[in-house]
Amino acid sequence: MIWYPYEQMKTMKDPYRIIDAEGVYLYTEDKKLIDSISSWWSVIHGYRHPKITKAIKDQADKFSHVMLGGLTHDSVIRLADKLKDFLPGDLDYCFFSDSGSVAVEVALKMALQYYVNQNKFERTKILSLTHSYHGDTFKTMEAGDDEDYHFILKAYGVSPNVVHVDTTIEALEEAFDKYHNELNCFIVEPLLQGAGGMRMYDISFLKRARELCDKYDVLLIFDEVATGFGRTGYRFVSDVVLPDIIVLGKALTGGHIGHAATVAGKKVYDGFYSDDPDHALMHGPTFMGNALACSAALASIEAFEEGNYMDRIAHIAELTRETMEGFTAPGIKDVRMMGGCVCIEVEDSSLLKGYQEFAYERGVFARPFLNYLYAMVPYVISDDELLKVLNTMKEWFEEK
């Protein structure tokens, strides 16, 4: 018996059974569906990408996994070297893990220990955004601010170690003014808050955050698990505002195998680098640096570089804007777009009930949540396929 995610098992409808997948398409026994959400935003090159699939097969012919405790291997070394070049600034020090949530946990642990290693024990608090989502493990739930996912936290109340702030510069300044000497980090999903409702905000907020973090010696963490690899229209938001730690996941392997990375800058790394064994980072997921995953990630980054992806994403953004700008219908609260993401927010979630089946009949897989109907397509999508995704969204409201 499979226990499915985010579902009341008693009332959930049967999931679609996928028997094959290639490019932007998922295949069921009787349908061919464009995946409009890239399997939780990860499959940026589409399914069964030849280069990534080959890399996984070639690695499997050697070995699939060895632990990183006391051992290392070519694929993880090459991936770390690649990320060093590919990521901006001095984000050079890669700690690998098996999922985005764990990679965020590692970032938060790094931030806390960074100060503990300096005997600053008072910096116990995390600053994060309202409506943020950073994963489903416990510390990431606390850092997050999304009751719709994490209402279980009500059982023990709000964490005294997390302060949430709105995405206005005024609120940010106020929070730093009040808490700065208790904060170890400010963690954000930069520009685009995904699971909290595809909320978008301005880069000026992050520029001010960088200034305040510098002023008060607080680490800035960008959780780019969702935004990394082009989703906002920037390669990484970190290209524009450099954080102290970046977290990558989802699209890291092109969505072919689960893996994630917490990549620190030199200042953070140096905060652990010493003769004192107590200053070491005490973390080590069993499958960190998995050889299949590292091979997939390397091939994925190469495909990203070779495929003019930033141009593709700009084109997707432009066609999306042409098609969706100004669209409205009764019950629609907002239509917003950024890079390879578009979201229709409705007044009442009941308005989206039945959309998944409606889209399925038209050959599109979608998964609206709460009040949000959105698309985050694979970047290899054609114009016709993208228009089909967007027009299906519009037709749902027009045919109501």
Complex with ligand PLP: residue 128 or 392, whichever CB lies closer: 128
* Contacting range for ligand PLP; rule: CB under 6 A; set: 28-36, 98-106, 203-211, 268-276: 98-106
Query: Around Cβ 47, how many Cβ atoms within 10 Å?
Result: 24
Query: Around Cβ 288, how many Cβ atoms within 10 Å?
Result: 23
What's the token pair of residue 155? 């059982």
Q: Is 228:250 a contact under the CB 8 Å cutoff?
A: yes
Residue 51 appears among annotated catalytic residues: no
Between CA 294 and CA 292 the distance in angstroms is 6
Shortest Å distance, C-beta 137 to ligand PLP: 7
Residue 371 binds ligand PLP, judged by CB under 6 A: no
Torsion of CA 175, 179, 184, 186, to 10 degrees: 0
Among 36, 99, 113, 167, binds ligand PLP (CB under 6 A): 99
Shortest Å distance, C-beta 383 to ligand PLP: 27
Residue 25 appears among annotated catalytic residues: no
Residue 133 appears among annotated catalytic residues: yes
Contacts with ligand PLP by CB under 6 A: the residue count is 15
Mask 235-254, x = binds ligand PLP (CB under 6 A)?
--------------xx----
Among 45, 73, 131, 134, binds ligand PLP (CB under 6 A): 134
Secondary structure (DSSP) of 50-91: HHHHHHHHHHHHH-S---SSS---HHHHHHHHHHHHHSSTT-
Complex with ligand PLP: residue 23 or 190, whichever CB lies closer: 190
Residue 250 appears among annotated catalytic residues: yes
Burial (0-12, 13-18, 19+ Cβ within 10 Å), 306: exposed
The catalytic residue among 149, 201, 234, 250 is 250
Residue 225 binds ligand PLP, judged by CB under 6 A: yes
The catalytic residue among 25, 115, 133, 372 is 133
CA-nearest of 149, 143, 122 to 217 is 122
- Containing 207, the helix (H) or strand (E) segment is helix 203-216
Ordered strands of the 260-264 beta sheet = 93-97, 260-264, 245-248, 219-223, 183-188, 125-129, 162-165
Q: Which residue is nearest to ligand PLP (CB)?
A: 100
Q: Which of residues 150-189 bind ligand PLP (CB under 6 A)?
A: 189
Site residues, ligand PLP (CB under 6 A): 99-101, 104, 133-135, 189, 194-195, 223, 225-226, 249-250
Name the residues annotated as catalytic. 6, 133, 223, 250
